[in-house]
Structure 1
Amino acid sequence: MIRISFRTGAMAAVLLLAAGTAAAQTTRRVAPDRLPNYWTLTNTSVNADVPNTGKNLNQPGCVAVTYLIGSNGLPQNVVAAKTVPEGDLAQVGVSAVKDFHYAPSGVNRSGEPVLTYYVVGFNLPEDPARKAAIMKQCELPGYTQPN
């Protein structure tokens, strides 16, 4: 009797794991430049927690923040995937993205969740070429395929 319960529990766990993996695999990855086809950012401003001191806070840089836009339009699983230069700007980027709010748009009127990322720039130079060079360092692979 214990064996049957264990076996049933193990099978249920395997099925749940497989279902979770399948759901994660079917979530569309959307490049930042294509995101407006799926979700529109509705914030007019965002709040971010900025520390008073930290490593490279005053240097030009960027943070690539990955997240899932849930069906409610709110970011979930917000993670700093890349920070240039290394330092304490990652927590600021994550804090800013957590404050985003979205509404469905374009081909996504049903509000289907998507995986995407946002590059937060800090202390960027005014020169467009230098600014673009810094921001390019935070581009992430795997989001550029057509959706």
Structure 2
Amino acid sequence: MCVNDPGVVCCAAGVLNLRSVKAGETVIQSAATSLFLCVDDKDNLKGQPHYTEGDCTFQELLLPDGYSYFLSPHTKNPVSLLSKQSGQKHDAPLHRFLPVMNTQLAMAGKGEDSQIEEVKQYIKDINLDSDDPLGIGHQSHIQTVFSPSLHTRK
């Protein structure tokens, strides 16, 4: 997925930067073009060079499997990243996002076996029945999990 210069959302593989602006609210920006993913009042996705809170702040919902999905700022409908040219129906399964482990910073200077054991222990500690399954409320875990929406400098 990318947001290209004329502001069109395309569905090629790409990297999105997710930044939390407050609890449950996320800004999505294309790493390739630096354009912000935004929605107009008719729920059409578009790319914008400048962030506007009303159009570019998505509500983030955490699913029981650890993935997140996003709701439109205007209609609260789930955001789909399918292009109209893709030929796929827009009622297809939602696009889900998964926070990734920061193996560069969290595991720096440790051996591969140590890294694997830490990841296994962290996965055991995740409680999907909790209101805080990733342990974000616990400072000890905030350095263990890397979520772009939690760890981007503001």
TM over 0.5: no
Q: TM-score band, normalised by the shorter chain? A: under 0.3
Superposition TM-score, scaled by structure 2 size:
0.23
- In terms of Rg, which structure is larger? 1
Superposition TM-score, scaled by structure 1 size:
0.24
Task: Considering fraction of residues, name the structure with more helix.
Answer: 1
